[in-house]
Amino acid sequence: MSNSTKKTREESLVSLFGPSGTEVPTESLTYIRKNPKRFVKKLTEIYGLNSVVKWVGESV
């Protein structure tokens, strides 16, 4: 994977955090980029599968 692709993904991840995206540590963004399944699994554990499915369904 090229550096430009990695940067693009990390820039996209910053947008997940809205206006406070500039305050998210780079290490956290890298972790999410390298472990998306674990990140989504943790969101599901916190908010519940029904909520996550609802959010995804609303954006499709």
Instruction: Kindly report each contact of residues 33-38 with a partner whose C-beta sits within 8 Å and lies 24 or more positions away, as own/partner.
Output: 33/6, 33/9
Q: How many domains does the chain have?
A: 1
8 Å CB contact between 24 and 14: yes
Rounded to two decimals, the pTM is: 0.66
Question: Residue 60's pLDDT is what?
Answer: 55
Task: Determine the structural domain holding residue 36 and report its residue range.
Answer: 3-59
List the alpha helices (DSSP H) in the chain.
Answer: 3-14, 26-34, 36-47, 49-59
* Res. 19: pLDDT tops 90: no
* Cα dist from 19 to 5, 10, 15, 16, 45, whole Å: 23, 15, 8, 9, 25
* Res. 1: pLDDT tops 80: no
Q: Which is higher by pLDDT, 49 or 3?
A: 49
- What is the arithmetic mean of pLDDT over 36-52? 92
* Res. 52: pLDDT tops 60: yes
